[in-house]
Structures are given as structure tokens and as C-alpha cells.
Amino acid sequence: ASDVGFEHVDVVVVGAGFAGLYAVHRLRELGFSVRAFEAGGDVGGTWYWNRYPGARCDIESLEYSYSFSPALQQEWVWSRRYPEQPEMLRYAQHVADRFALREAITFGTRVTSAEFDTDHWAIRTDAGHQIQTRFCVLATGCLSAAQIPEIAGRESFAGATYHTARWPQEGVDFAGQRVAVIGTGASGIQAVPLIAEQADHLTVFQRTANFSVAGSNEPLPRDEMRERQAHYAEFRERARRSFGGVLLRQNRVSALAVSEVERAAEFASRWGTGGFSFMAAFDDLIFDPAANEHAAEFVRQKIRDIVTDPATADLLTPRDHPIGTKRICVDSGYYATFNRNNVTLVDLRATPIERLTPGGLRVGGQEYAVDSIVFATGFDAMTGAVLRMDIRGRDARTIQEKWSGGPTTYLGLAVAGFPNLFLIAGPGSPSVISNAFLSIEQHVDWIGDCLVMMRDQGLATIEAEPEAEAAWVDHVNEVADRTLYVKADSWYLGANVPGKPRMFMPYIGGVSRYRKRCDAVAATDYEGFTTS
């Protein structure tokens, strides 16, 4: 193919969320020329798009940040224990400015296609860019392809519609409005209490009742921040050696080995401190159905205690999946919101949404008149953003065809048949089930080392071997099958998207084990990869 009109670089990075930002920084630092494209108007990715009221992280701010720069760690001060979206976005913007990353990023531009040819990729964007690059890094996010369900009559609705992950920059004022929220995952559960305070009336449409644990909105005490800053290196090292990349008070005791009173006391001590802390109350909550049931029952009892109307409490009570197997939610007053007299809960299990009408929603033959509809309906997680691009590897094979039976990768980092292409936090990586910052840094550092190795050895291509990929996929599944995670219809399994192949996507063997494996691959001359 002629390369007239093509710009040439070493690496194209797709996405400028926290993964893309660090990839730009690290790969430039290693001496590669880097060009990044970002669909959003600014940096931040997830934290740029998810501006819905109440959006906040479910991992503590002292853990959920970059570790690559000691200076950055010393100058950035978190204000809250669990960071809110605006603060996360400011952090992304600060990092972009501090390391002059914006000059390498083209905003408001989507990569539409990537085609492999011999030893390079030809990249095209929706703004007409054509770039030839040796390597392509997909930092496209795990939860970035927003999902709005197909509902009959959707176009006929005359009011305003929003998706939580495509929230207007200027915000939304629901005062005086009748509002519908569809979906009760993390996004719905965070948004509902705040929308209820504003709206005239809020109707929540729930398909699956979800477990949510009270979190904390408290400011982060300055002395705790200073203490962490004095010992960041040590804490980061411990996080790297942990299971999920966060330093939890993990109880090593089985929930079945203690008395009922002790069990209740342990759960109670963690109520109010967030979901992951709650799930660390005992060692076997995610493995043993009986242990899990104790944790589930504790939360169910909380719901009955908080929600005054018994019928509503009953509807809100989750019964069809083990606690924690759909990502556990962290809330600020979610269940109590249903005690307000301007909030109604509608059960979509009994009667799904029939259609949207010009004035609202029709469910079970009944019309719900609303002015606005909020879709808190989640994402085509982990694969959506990749599959929405036209990516063609060796022999022009498309990624859609390659992943038609489910996404397969080697180490979550590479795909057989797609040389010189790297994924960050892709399927098969622990990222989404861990402290994403820690996983992102590990992935990017590994990719950086790999590119340096190739430069040093004068290599043109690197590609995962199909056997290594198959073995990794088996391992990912094996590890998942030993847990209760596979018992829930979650986005981890692609179950929330009609027609998506059912396959457990994240690696839940722990970040420490994962890192050792990646390091071992690099140390053994990139075992499982073919180079040329």
C-alpha cells in the first residue's frame, strides 16, 4: 500500500484515560515517538465521561493513583476518602499538564480502523488522520462503551434522555421534573440518592436487585494524607504484593469458623467502610456459598432495617446472585432513598419495559409519565471499545472474527494474529478486578520494556503464539471457576449484553501472581511470543 499522506510514529496510543496517559508518558520517556487519540474533549477517560451526580470511585484515593512519580505523589493532596469524579478528573488534568502529555494527544477524535501490514499498523481516525505506526497500544478502557438497551419506541420519547457515562458537561438540573432511572448497578445506585433530592418525582426501574454496602463520603484527614505521603513507596510495594492491589484489612478466617455473634460483629465493623473492605471480612466469602450467604444475609437484613415499606424492602432484596459476584456497590444512602415519598420502585423482573412512549415508559400495561430518562444501564464491558473499531491483523483477519467465540488474549496484553498490538487492561488482565492504577502501570511498564528489548535486538514484530494464548485463556477460566464469580449474570461474563459470548473476562488470580507471570515471560526471552 502507498504510504503517501501517512504520518509515521513508533507508537499510536488509543485513549487518554489513566492508561493512555501513562502509556504516552512512559513510552516517550523511553525514547519512542508517540501519538495518541482520544474521543473525549479532554484527558481522563472513565473520569471524563462519567459525570453523573454522585459518581465516585469505590477504591480509596490513597490507593487509587499513580505511583510512577515520587514527586507527583508528594504534590497531590486528596480531599476525600473515596474520590469524587471531579477530583479524579482534576488529577488526570494535573498529570497531563505536569508531564506535558497533551502535546502528544489529539482530542475529540476516534480511531476508526487499524490495519496490520508486514511490520506496521495503518491507523485511521474519524477526523481523517492516517498514521503509520510500528506499534499500537489500545488503552480504550474496560467500561467505556456505553450500553443503552434496545427498547421499542425509544425514538418516540419526547423528553430528555441521558446515559450515566455520557453525562452533559454542564450537568443536568432535574428540579421540578419527573425522572426515570433505569438500572441499579454502581452508577444507578450512586446517582439515585442525589437525583431523588432534586427531582419532583423519581421512579427507579430495577431489573436485578443489587447488593450495596454503605461507603464513606468523609473528607480525608490531612494527617492521614501526610502519613501516606511519608511512606508511599512502602505502601505501593505492599499493594503490588497484595491480591487486588489494595491494602485491605483482609481477615484470614473462614466465615464458617466463628460464632454468629462474632460474624455479625465483623460485618458490622466493615459496614460504612466500602464494598471491598466488606468483602474482606472473611477469607472465603467469594469461594464458599455458605460463607457468602452469611455476608449476603447481613446486607439483606440491613435493607429490611433501613427501608420502611416491607414490599419495597422485599423488592430491593437481592436473591439471585452471591454477594460480590456482580461488582459490589458502594453507596451513600441508596436504600434510605426509597423511604422518601417522591421515590417509587418498579420491578422489571415481573414486567419488563414494553416500550417508550412520547410521554414516558409503558411497563406491565401501565404508563409512567416522565420528563427525563436516565439510562444507568452500564457498558459493553472489556471488549466493547475494541470491537467498535475495525481492527485487522495478519491476513486481514478482523478482531470481530477472532473474538467471535469470546475474547482471547495472552496475558491480557496481546492477541495471536495481531502482531505489535498491545492491550491495556484488556480481557485476561486483572485490571478491572484490581486497583486499576496499579495494573495499568504494570501493563505499561511491561510493554515499555518489551519495546526496548525489540529496539535493542533490532526486531520488527512480536506476536503472541496461539498455544500460549489458549493456555492463558484456560488458566483465566480455571481460576474463575474456583470462585463464585461465575454464578452471576455480570458484565465480567458479558452477560449484560444480549448475544455476547459468555466468558469470564478478568483474570482473578491476583495482581501479585499476575505480575510474577508477566515478569517470568519477559525473563525467558518472551516465552509464548514469536518475534521476527
In the complex, the residues that contact ligand NA7 under the rule CB under 6 A are 143, 149, 164, 182-188, 207-208, 327, 348, 376-379, 491, 496
* Residue number with CB closer to ligand NA7 (502 or 516): 502
> How many residues belong to the chain?
532
Rounded to whole angstroms, how far apart are CA atoms 295 and 254? 12
Q: Closest Cα to residue 382, out of 417, 422, 428, 414?
A: 428
Q: With contact defined as beta carbons under 8 Å apart, do 66 and 95 qualify?
A: yes
* Residue number with CB closer to ligand NA7 (46 or 442): 46
Rounded to whole angstroms, how far apart are CA atoms 501 and 285? 27
Give the shortest CB-85-to-ligand NA7 separation in angstroms: 11
- SS3 (DSSP) at 148: coil
Pairing between β-strand 160-163 and β-strand 372-375 as defined by DSSP bridges:
parallel
Give the shortest CB-222-to-ligand NA7 separation in angstroms: 28
- SS3 (DSSP) at 212: strand
Give the shortest CB-290-to-ligand NA7 separation in angstroms: 24
* Residue number with CB closer to ligand NA7 (11 or 329): 329
405: exposed, middle or buried (Cβ count in 10 Å: 0-12, 13-18, 19+): exposed
Give the shortest CB-343-to-ligand NA7 separation in angstroms: 17
Give the shortest CB-285-to-ligand NA7 separation in angstroms: 18
* Residue number with CB closer to ligand NA7 (184 or 203): 184
Could you tell me which residues come within 8 angstroms of residue 12 by beta carbon, excluding any fewer than 6 positions away? 34, 35, 36, 37, 111, 114, 121, 123, 131, 133, 135, 136, 137
Give the shortest CB-62-to-ligand NA7 separation in angstroms: 19
Give the shortest CB-319-to-ligand NA7 separation in angstroms: 13
Could you tell me which residues come within 8 angstroms of residue 31 by beta carbon, excluding any fewer than 6 positions away? none
> At CA 228, angle to CA 222 and CA 438, rounded to 5?
125
Q: With contact defined as beta carbons under 8 Å apart, do 66 and 441 qualify?
A: yes
Give the shortest CB-512-to-ligand NA7 separation in angstroms: 21
Give the number of other Cβ atoms within 10 Å of residue 529's Cβ.
21
* Residue number with CB closer to ligand NA7 (125 or 377): 377
Q: What is the largest CA-CA distance in the chain?
A: 74
Give the shortest CB-244-to-ligand NA7 separation in angstroms: 13
Q: With contact defined as beta carbons under 8 Å apart, do 499 and 387 qualify?
A: no
Sheet holding 366-369, edge to edge: 353-357, 360-363, 366-369
* Residue number with CB closer to ligand NA7 (385 or 391): 385
Q: With contact defined as beta carbons under 8 Å apart, do 44 and 22 qualify?
A: no
* Residue number with CB closer to ligand NA7 (21 or 192): 192
Q: Which backbone phi and psi does 368 adopt, to 5 degrees?
A: -110, 110
Give the shortest CB-486-to-ligand NA7 separation in angstroms: 16
Whole-angstrom CA distances from 48 to 14, 89, 300, 376, 523 are 15, 6, 34, 16, 37
Q: With contact defined as beta carbons under 8 Å apart, do 341 and 197 qualify?
A: no
* Residue number with CB closer to ligand NA7 (105 or 195): 195
105 DSSP β-pair partners: 36
Give the shortest CB-159-to-ligand NA7 separation in angstroms: 18
Rounded to whole angstroms, how far apart are CA atoms 303 and 299? 6
* Residue number with CB closer to ligand NA7 (347 or 469): 347
* Residue number with CB closer to ligand NA7 (58 or 463): 58
* Residue number with CB closer to ligand NA7 (184 or 442): 184
